[in-house]
Structure formats: C-alpha cells, structure tokens
Structure 1
Amino acid sequence: MYGRFKELNTLRNQIFIGFLLVMLIIIVVSGAFVYDRVSSLLKNNSERHIQQTAVQANGRLDALIGQIDSLTEQVANHPTVQQLLLEELNGQKVSFNQRQSLLKIVSSYQAYMPSVGSLELYTADYRLLFPIKDGSLSTRINGSYISEANVQKGRLVWIGVDPNDDQSLLAIRQVSLMDRWFSRGGYLMARIQRSYFQLNDPLSGSDSGESILLVSDDGQLLGSSEAPVANLLPLLHSKDQTVSFQDKEYVQVKLRSDKTNWTLLVLTPVSYVTKGISVLRTVLLVSGALGTVLFLIMSFVLSTMITRPIMHLIRAMRKSRLGVLTPNLQSVSTVELRELNNTYNGMITNMNDLIRVVYEKEVLQSRTELKALQAQINPHFLFNTLEAFNWSLEEKGEEELAGLVVVMSRLFRYIIGNPNMDEWVTLGEEVEQVRRYLQIMEMRMGERLTWNVELAPQAAAVPVPKLLIQPIAENAILHGVESRVGSGLVSVVVQPSLRQGWTTITVSDNGPGMDADTLQALYNSLEGGPSISSKGNGVGLVNVQRRLKLYYGRESADLQGMMIDSKPSQGTAITFEIPNNGGYTYEPGQQNDSGRGR
C-alpha cells in the first residue's frame, strides 16, 4: 500500500493536484465575489429605479397640489369674493343675489379643473356663504384644521377624506382681505375627487408591479377611488426596507410631502428586484463547471511539460556530484528545457569562479597577516628609550623637560596600549589622556593656548571607547586655536545629560568658527562626503562619528552622533551623548598614571 502511494506521489501528480485545487479555489472565490458584486449591482439598480419612481411620483404629487393651491388662491383673491367677505366683516348682510353671483365665478374656475368637486366659501364667523344653503364650518370639519388655517395665514391646509363623502378629499385656506391689511375675512374650502391623486397608473409603464400609495398620518389610504385597504400604519412606522403587504413581500420607499403632511409609499415586489439574480446564479454555475473541466485538462498537460525537462536536468546534475562541477552539454530542443539547462550551466560556471575567488582570497589574506606580523613594532623599545631620556634629564636638573617626557611616555603608553587588553576605558581615564595631550600642546604653543577640563564625578566611571575625545580636542587646536590671532581657549566638559542614563561630552574652542555653508559641508563629510579640511588628512571627526555609530548605533536608536554649533568669529562647540552602560560590560584594565590638570 505504501509502495503504491509512493509511486503516485510524483512531482507531476503533485503539480496536477495543486493546480487543480488552486483553480477550484479561484473559481469558487471569484464566483462568489462576482455573484456578490453583480447581485449587489442588480439590487442597487433596482433601488435606483424605485427611488427614481418615488421622486417622479412625488414631483407629480407636488404638481397636483400646486394646481389646487393656485386655483383656490385665485378664487380667494377674486374681487367679488373679497368684496362680499369685506361687507360681511363690516356687519353688512350679503343679499341673495350677491351670493348667487358667486356661482358663475366658481363655475368658471371649476371648468379648468373638473376634478374639483365643489368650492365652499365661509365667513369669518364660520357661516356658509356659498353654496346657497345653511351650514357652518365648525360642524363641517374639525376645529383643529380651522386653527391651522388661521396659523398658516392664507396657505392651503389639507384635511384629508371628506367626512360626508369618502370619495373626496378636503383642503381649506384662510381668505385674507387685501383692503383690510390682509386680515382674516373668511375661509375657502375645496373638495377634490380622490381619483385626482391616483398616482399609480401614469407611472406604471413597466411590468414591475409596483404600487404607489398616498397615505395620511392616521394610516388611511388617500390617493385611490377603490375600496380602502387595511390600516397602513404598520407600513408608515416600519423602518425596514423590506415589508409584507397583502401577503406579498415588497421593497418600500417612503417620501413625506411637506405641503400636505402626507406620506408617499412606493412598494415594489421583491421578486422584481431579485429576478436577475437567479439567472446570474445559473450562469456562474455553468461557467464554473466548464472552467473546471478545461483547467483539469490543461493542468495535466502543463504538469507533464514541467516534469519532463526536470528529470533530464536531474540526470545531468548526478554527473557533478564528485570533483569539479561540470556543465551539462546535452543539446535540448524544447524552450523550457533549454532555459533550465542554460541556467544550470551558468550556475556551474559561477560556482567554479566563486571557488577560485575564495581560494585566492584565502591565500592573499594569509600573506597579508604574515606581513602584518612582521611589521609590528615592539612598544617596549619606545617606552624604555623615553625612560632613559627621563633619567638623563633629571640627572642634569631639567625637571620640566623630564616631566614632559613622562607625560609623553604615558600618552604613548595609553595610545599603544596592550593588544591583549580591552579597547574600552572609563571616562576618567579618557579625560586624563586629554589632559596629557593638552599639557604637551601647551608646552609647544606656550601662551597661545589655555585649556580647561571639567569632569563630573558621577561620569568618571562611564565606559567609553579609547581615544574618543582626544581627536576632537586635536581638531579644536588645529582648526580653532592655531587659526586664531592671540591666545586661544579649549574647553572639555563631561557632565550628566538631561536624558536619564546618558552623559554629555562637549569640546569647544573660541577660534574663528564656521559659516553655514562650511558647517553643512562638514556634516556632509561626517556622513561619508568629501573632506573639507585644508590641514592634515581631515579624518579625526569622521573617525569619531563612525566609532560612535559602530559602538553605540546598534545598542541605542536614540543615538544622534556629533552635534556641531559654530558661528563665524564665535568659535565652535562639538557635543555628543553616550549611554552610561555603553552597551557593553566594561572590565577595567591597567590604570594609567594621572598628570596634572586644571
């Protein structure tokens, strides 16, 4: 069983099964993605169609309301109506003939809008003035609508279904007397047929089966002449996009009319919104099945084409197991095998070259180390010679020169040191070395050099790489004091930093300083640019900067390197900070002798 499985577990079968699984995953994921995106697109298109239908219906409703508003406004502002209501307000009884004259006026306006069943004119004290019959506005409608008409001051107020005729709707407006400072002169009420607000038929130009309903706040259907349906309050109060109405599922859109305070409901069957999704599902399943079959065949062919040249290459590689690597000189015809063979041959050539280069480097390194050992100087010869000078000068009474020789001996002993000892010292030792150097330079320059060294006691034990401060002091003398006319000052200050766990080292001089361009060029030199020094080789500060990054850069991301503050005629100050732990474990070596300081 295991042997049969081992025979089937070939590279070709693995590639074939892997390609097939990848393709199936791609087909499933892409099909699900396409199905989701396209179905969302279909739904969005349907929703936009529904929204557009709702906007068109709302626009038509506003147009119908505007026509009623315009008609009633013209009647209310008619001179005869204004005159009769003004006489009534002044206490003059309107005659029968005057009331009958209103019939012709009202009939002329109703001829333009047959949907207006009747117009009723009332006085300010609610008496019916037209039509010619007894009646009162207070018994005709609810008093809240009269109060609303008074508040609106001439604007049309929609009441709803006529209590006396369920096939009509009522609207009322206050008649303002223009000759009496627009005071309330009476009321004009219009009765409109409900079929006037039948909004569904003009807009239903498709087979969507959508319904457009005009509903009052109490859930009563307004814009239909048919028998009233069940209470529509659940639809008004529902916040869901999909609702159930008359045993069917609908997608609803609600628009509220500010002019009537009625709600326009647009109901579209869910089946219309999702009818394209089933077709999409079928298309995706069929295309996915066809794609799987085609990729099954292509995977088998591709896996065979890949594994065949690999087998040939394996045979060629077996010949290079022992000895010098030899290229495969077998000629091939297929593009894939030729590319693999060329790559293998190139790799063999590169490996042979690499072996040769490594061998030559090893030989060269051995020769270089041998020469370095031969070129080493025994420092004891130098120290013994200086000690002999010291004894000789003391015997001759040259104590000052003898002291200078001692300082030089300690200076060289610190610099050369013991190659078997650590390259790390304490700040106390390093500052003492700077004092020795400044003493020697003071002996050479005389009164042209004064110096000052300050070391905080808590910073004396901080570990630091050897010869980290002295190059900066040398730079201060070379470019500061020597370039200054008269006496120069070099100051070295070592003190705790404002940052916890750090120590600040500052070396300053009162030399000629640098302008902004020279300072920027110096910063560029510290980052690897060309040297700007006209004295010496200009590597002192660069060496310090590189050693700071080498010793501390990997241990602390806060290391900033050297910061240079220099202005023309005001001198130069170089400051850098080091962590107190040094990033290493310091083991003190042989203590250096202390010289005089200031």
Structure 2
Amino acid sequence: MNPLTREVMPMSFRLRPPWREGKPSIKTSMTVQFSCLFIGCFLIVGLLVYQGVVKVIQEIATDYILVTIKQENEKVDKIIAKAESSASTVLSNNEMQNMLNQVYSGQVLKLPDRDLISHLIYNAVNQEPYVIAAQVYSPRFGYYGFNNSYLQQSDIRQLTLQHPEKLAHIDDRMIWIEVKTGVGDNVYPFIFGIRTIPNFITDTPLGYFMVVLDKKQIENDLIHIDIGQGGSMFIVNEDGLAIVSSDEAMEMETKRYLADNFKDRNDVSGHFIHSVNGVHSLVTYNKLHRTNWTSVVILPVSSLTKGMDYVNYLLILTGCATILLVFITARLLSARITKPISNIQRNMKRVEQGNLQVNLPVTHTLEINDLSQSFNHMVGKLNILINQVYEGELRRREAELKALQANIHPHFLYNTLDSLYWMLIIRGQEEVAKVVVSLSHLFRYSIGGKGQTVPLRSELEHIRNYLQIQQIRFEDLEVECIWDETIGNVTILKLLLQPLVENAIYHGLEKKSGNRKLTIATKAIDQGLVLITIRDNGAGIRPEQLALIRSMMRMADHFQILEERLGMGIENVHRRIKLFYGEAYGMDISSEPGEGTEITIRIPLHGRMESSEAK
C-alpha cells in the first residue's frame, strides 16, 4: 500500500452509558443527592427543635423545683425561727431570770418554782407542733421543762460528747444537730437545737436551753411535695450528710453523692445535670437562711421528657411525609434537568457509530447551550484532527528513517579514539595519550547508558577525567578531592556536577593568574542529606551581584539573568535538582570578591544502588 494513502480507520473510542458499568445515572445521582441534602437538613432542624424543647422543659422544671425548694426552705426556716424566738422569749422572762439566778447562786428552788419554770417553757413552745421537747439545763440545777420525745438525759450528755467542736462555740444563737436514739429497728431521729441561757445580771451564762424538733413530721412534709416522678428531696448539713430525706430507703450511693458534692458548698442556689446511682438526673439545690443546711432535689431527666412521646411521634410522622415529598420532588426536578443531557448522550452515541454529521440544536438553557455548541465544534474538528494525526504519523516515520540513516554508531568513535591512543603510545607521547583516554571516558559516560541517574562515585570519576583534560590547559591548576567513600552508591542525576565545575573554571579560575585551586568535597550529615561542595579560589562575585543571584534562584522565571552571569550550568543544575528531588533540595552559593566562590548541592541520602549497578 502506498504510504501516502490515507486509510480510514473506525472510531476507537466508545461512550458507554454509566449504568452499564454498575454506576448510577445522572438522574439517579441527582435524586439521591437532593434527597440526602433535604433529609439531612430536616434531621438537623428536627434534632435542634427536639433539643430546644427538652432544654425548655428542663428550664421550666428547674424553675418549678427551685420555687418548691424555696417554699419548703421558708417553711423549715419558720419552724426554726419560731423555736429560736420562743427560746428567746422564755429566757428573757424576768421570773425565769430571777429563778435561774437564784439556783446559779446556790439557792435551792422550791417545787412550785420548779413547776413554774417548766410551765413557762411549755407555754412558750407548746404552740409549735414540730417541737416535742424543750428544756433548760445546768450542772447546778439539772433539767427543767418538758420532754415528749424518746430522747433521754443520757442521750443529751452523750450528744455533748459527740459534738464537742460545735458545742464549744455555743452562744446566744441556736445550733442545730441531727441526733438519733434507740437500738436496732427502734431508732428515732430528731433535730436537736441548743443555745446558752444569757445572764442579765452577770456575763456568765446560766446554762443551756435545748429544743427537740420532730424529724418525722418534717420528712412527711417532704414526702407530700410534688417534685416529679422518681424525684427525691433532701436537707443536708454542711458536711453533706442528709438530715431530712423524702426517700426512706435512700441508697448508699446517694449518700456518697451528697457528701461528695455538697460538703462545705458555698454557693446559695443552682442546678446541674449529673449521674446519680447511674441515672442521668437533674440536681437542684438552695440553702436555708437560718442554718448552714442545703435543700437538694434529685430528679431523673427521663421523667422530664416522659411527655415527649407525642412530640417524637409527630416528628417521625412529619419526617416520613417530608422524605416522600422530597424524593418525588427531587425525581421530577432531576428528570427535567437531565433531559437535555440525555439528548446530547444519544447524539454522542451516533458519533461513536461513525456519524460525524451530527449537529445539536440550540436550547434555552445557557449551560446546555454552551455544551451543545462545544459538542458541535468538537465534531467539526474531528475530521480535521484525523487528517492531522494521519499526516503527522507519516512525518514522524519519515523523520525516524532519516535519523537511523544519519546515526553514527558509538563504537566507531570509541575504536577511533582507541587507535589514536595506541599511535600516541608508540610515538612516546604518553601525556597526550592520557588526555585521549580521559576524553574516551568522557564520551562513554556522556553517550552511554539510558538511565538519568548514576551512582555518586561514577559521577565523581567522570569529573576526575574532565579535570585531567583541563589540567593540560591550566598547568598550575591544583585539584583537591575530599570524597566520602561510604556514600559512593548514593544515587545522583547524571552529568549534574560537570556544568558547575565548568563554571568554576571559566568564570572563576580562568580570570586568576597562578595558584589556581579547585576543591570538590562530599559528605553525609545527620539530617539525611548529602552535601556536595565545589569551591574555587578564583575572582569571586561582588556582594550586590551575589544577593541578586540568590534572590533570583528562588524565582524560576529569571534564569536567563543567572545565565548571563554564571552560564548555562546554573540553570540546568538548579532546575534539575528541584524537579527531580523536590523543593526541599537545591543549591546554596557563597562568594567573596577576590577570594573565590563556593557552591553546595543538597540531595537526599536515599536510593542507594546495589553493588552490581554501581559497577
């Protein structure tokens, strides 16, 4: 077949509908994405609404509980205040003061006087239903008053021994303590109040006044308070111990929780959410005014949200209806959007079958219209591109044929240099023969091999051959090689160092007369880097020019300026390092006018070649 004859080939590309490969169509993808978007928004809004309702319910419950606590605190404060007021009234009575001072001075009271003291005490506190005992006491005259409790005189003496730190600071203000008496199942709890009896004649107290409150009645009041299902109310002292509780079967974990969280608590009122006995609970508290006690209510959060079942049902029902509506809307919307795309897809199928006369009509949608015009333009270019590709392939084949015909086999050059070497040896020109050998090695290294990387020792050996040739021209050129043999197998780009050595000679040492020195050093450092230094003692670079070079080395668009000052080598080497190793590696240049120039190359210490490859 004539090579210039065009062979019309069938179209090599195929446009397959994505669903044939197990992928969803655009319509399906849009339906799913729209549905997920709307459903996600609905779920987020629904969750926020639900959390807001729960928060509002908790705030309402907290306010209600706090009001209830304050009301109960006011009631307890009134009981204590009345008891303290009654005590003050009876102790300030003139007859009571006279009779107690008589006893205090050593006189013996007659039986009517004793009955009068008890009568005065009884009349003062008998109107209080919570007070079941009230007595005056002194080691000089014993006990006077009335006692309707199970608390005996021995219990009171034992109480004074159990609370010495509290009784040591008793004054005319009453101190309240929880006490118990009895054994086993017959244990009776009381709230015991005690204060000193003031002496209106002298400053020495006449004794103590004691009041006993019925703890059971106060607990019954707490039990009948409506604080929510599963809730409990406690009155705790400054040590966090429950004095009064609406929960008769209070668990040990609850006692421990109260002791841990309300011991020496200073804030007057507050609330928080805690886990009590493994139950997520709302804890609300408020301090009493007359004592250092705190009323605490523990209410499970689940009881607050118990009425949310209807709200949850309504949210679920609304959500299902919304999901169905969103799915139908998204399906219809996606079908309308994808209809023009389906039309384009059908016409592309015709192009796939070889019909290049397809022309899409103009639509009213801007994006689809642009896509149709682009498609028509593409189809119009296909015939032109097919011709261009065919003609380009013919030209490429002709160029390859010409290159093969013009190619000189490298072995012809190597054999010629080898013959020249032996002719020079026979004629005794050994110095020139060495130059020929070095030149032969240069050609072999430059032309031979297909890879772009070589071992570091091979690159350094190539530089040695190059410098041997240069030393014929510059007889006073001193070359110092400080090479670390342990990194000889490190991979380096081929012909990376020769351009820099050439720059050092032609731009530095060539301008210097006598005492020319070139140092090439390699070493590895701890940061995982290999440093290759090329240093000359040539003319150097002026400071302002050096600053310009350093700034331009960081700007890839200005290599032509560097080229004018340092030659083609600097452009080639810097670009190759950045492209091959990355932006973290490259070159550093330092120079002093009249002292010389030093270039340091930084490459990574990795990619060691196997010994066979190094050879």
Residue among 533, 544, 551 paired with 1:506: 533
Match of 2:209 in 1: 188
In structure 2, relative to structure 1, the CA distance for the partners of 1:221 and 1:480 (3 Å cut) is same
Residue among 504, 515, 520 paired with 1:492: 520
CA distance in 1, matches of 2:480, 2:311: 92
Residue among 438, 455, 462 paired with 1:410: 438
Question: CA RMSD of the aligned region, Å?
Answer: 6.4
- Aligned partner letter, 2:518: V
Q: Does 1:572 align with 2:583?
A: no
Residue among 450, 454, 457 paired with 2:482: 454
CA distance in 2, matches of 1:67, 1:517: 95
Match of 1:280 in 2: 312
Residue among 460, 463, 467 paired with 2:495: 467
TM-score (norm 1): 0.64
Q: Does 1:151 align with 2:168?
A: no
CA distance in 2, matches of 1:18, 1:435: 66
Render the CA deviation track for 1:394-438: whole Å, top value 9, x for unaligned.
Answer: 96x9x5xx7257426633751475746445655444333323433
The question of whether the paired residues in 2 share the 8 Å contact of 1:128 and 1:135 is answered with: no
Query: What displacement does 1:322 show?
Result: 5.7
Match of 2:379 in 1: 348
CA distance in 2, matches of 1:520, 1:367: 47
Residues 79-158 of structure 1: pairs in structure 2 closer than 5 A:
92-93=106-107, 117=131, 120-125=134-139, 131=145, 139=153, 141-143=155-157, 145-152=159-166, 153-154=169-170, 156-158=175-177
In structure 2, relative to structure 1, the CA distance for the partners of 1:235 and 1:80 (3 Å cut) is same
CA distance in 2, matches of 1:267, 1:580: 67
Match of 1:437 in 2: 466
Render the CA deviation track for 1:421-456: whole Å, top value 9, x for unaligned.
Answer: 445655444333323433444454554x43201345
CA distance in 1, matches of 2:609, 2:492: 10
Question: 373-382 or 409-418: which moved more?
Answer: 373-382
CA distance in 2, matches of 1:387, 1:34: 91
TM-score (norm 2): 0.62
Query: What displacement does 1:186 show?
Result: 3.7
Match of 1:291 in 2: 322
Query: What displacement does 1:328 show?
Result: 1.7
Residue 351 of structure 2: SS of its match in structure 1? Answer: coil
Residue 328 of structure 1: SS of its match in structure 2? Answer: coil
Query: What displacement does 1:574 show?
Result: 1.1
The question of whether the paired residues in 1 share the 8 Å contact of 2:491 and 2:607 is answered with: yes
CA distance in 1, matches of 2:511, 2:77: 96
Q: Does 1:175 align with 2:196?
A: yes
Residues 316-395 of structure 1: pairs in structure 2 closer than 5 A:
316-317=347-348, 319-321=350-352, 325-330=356-361, 341-342=372-373, 344-345=375-376, 347-348=378-379
Query: What displacement does 1:290 show?
Result: 3.6
Match of 1:544 in 2: 573
Query: What displacement does 1:491 show?
Result: 1.4
The question of whether the paired residues in 1 share the 8 Å contact of 2:490 and 2:606 is answered with: yes
CA distance in 1, matches of 2:70, 2:513: 94
In structure 2, relative to structure 1, the CA distance for the partners of 1:56 and 1:136 (3 Å cut) is closer
In structure 2, relative to structure 1, the CA distance for the partners of 1:473 and 1:535 (3 Å cut) is same
CA distance in 2, matches of 1:197, 1:516: 94
The question of whether the paired residues in 1 share the 8 Å contact of 2:233 and 2:245 is answered with: yes
Render the CA deviation track for 1:296-355: whole Å, top value 9, x for unaligned.
Answer: 654664566467545644553454346573442445568897576445435535756765
- Aligned partner letter, 2:176: V
Render the CA deviation track for 1:184-212: whole Å, top value 9, x for unaligned.
Answer: 864333345777788779987xx967876
Structure 1 alignment gaps of length 5 or more:
1-8, 244-248, 590-598
- Aligned partner letter, 1:280: N
In structure 2, relative to structure 1, the CA distance for the partners of 1:269 and 1:95 (3 Å cut) is farther
Render the CA deviation track for 1:464-486: whole Å, top value 9, x for unaligned.
Answer: 54322222323444555467797
Residue 530 of structure 1: SS of its match in structure 2? Answer: helix
CA distance in 2, matches of 1:529, 1:180: 108
Question: 532-541 or 510-519: which moved more?
Answer: 510-519
CA distance in 2, matches of 1:272, 1:588: 80
CA distance in 2, matches of 1:176, 1:280: 64
Residue 468 of structure 1: SS of its match in structure 2? Answer: coil
Structure 2 alignment gaps of length 5 or more:
1-19, 258-273
Residue 320 of structure 1: SS of its match in structure 2? Answer: helix
The question of whether the paired residues in 2 share the 8 Å contact of 1:427 and 1:461 is answered with: yes
Query: What displacement does 1:168 show?
Result: 11
- Aligned partner letter, 2:502: E
Query: What displacement does 1:125 show?
Result: 3.1
Query: What displacement does 1:528 show?
Result: 2.4
In structure 2, relative to structure 1, the CA distance for the partners of 1:538 and 1:90 (3 Å cut) is farther
Query: What displacement does 1:90 show?
Result: 6.8
In structure 2, relative to structure 1, the CA distance for the partners of 1:51 and 1:389 (3 Å cut) is same
Query: What displacement does 1:151 show?
Result: 1.4
In structure 2, relative to structure 1, the CA distance for the partners of 1:219 and 1:461 (3 Å cut) is closer
CA distance in 1, matches of 2:245, 2:523: 91
Query: What displacement does 1:562 show?
Result: 3.7
Residues 51-70 of structure 1: pairs in structure 2 closer than 5 A:
51-60=62-71
In structure 2, relative to structure 1, the CA distance for the partners of 1:493 and 1:36 (3 Å cut) is same
- Aligned partner letter, 2:177: W
CA distance in 1, matches of 2:373, 2:140: 108
The question of whether the paired residues in 1 share the 8 Å contact of 2:587 and 2:602 is answered with: yes
Question: 580-589 or 274-283: which moved more?
Answer: 580-589
CA distance in 2, matches of 1:14, 1:440: 70
In structure 2, relative to structure 1, the CA distance for the partners of 1:103 and 1:223 (3 Å cut) is farther
Q: Give the count of matched residue pairs.
A: 552
In structure 2, relative to structure 1, the CA distance for the partners of 1:332 and 1:28 (3 Å cut) is closer
CA distance in 1, matches of 2:470, 2:309: 93
In structure 2, relative to structure 1, the CA distance for the partners of 1:575 and 1:338 (3 Å cut) is closer
CA distance in 2, matches of 1:64, 1:92: 42
Residue 556 of structure 2: SS of its match in structure 1? Answer: coil
Query: What displacement does 1:507 show?
Result: 2.6
Residues 67-82 of structure 1: pairs in structure 2 closer than 5 A:
none
CA distance in 2, matches of 1:86, 1:567: 110
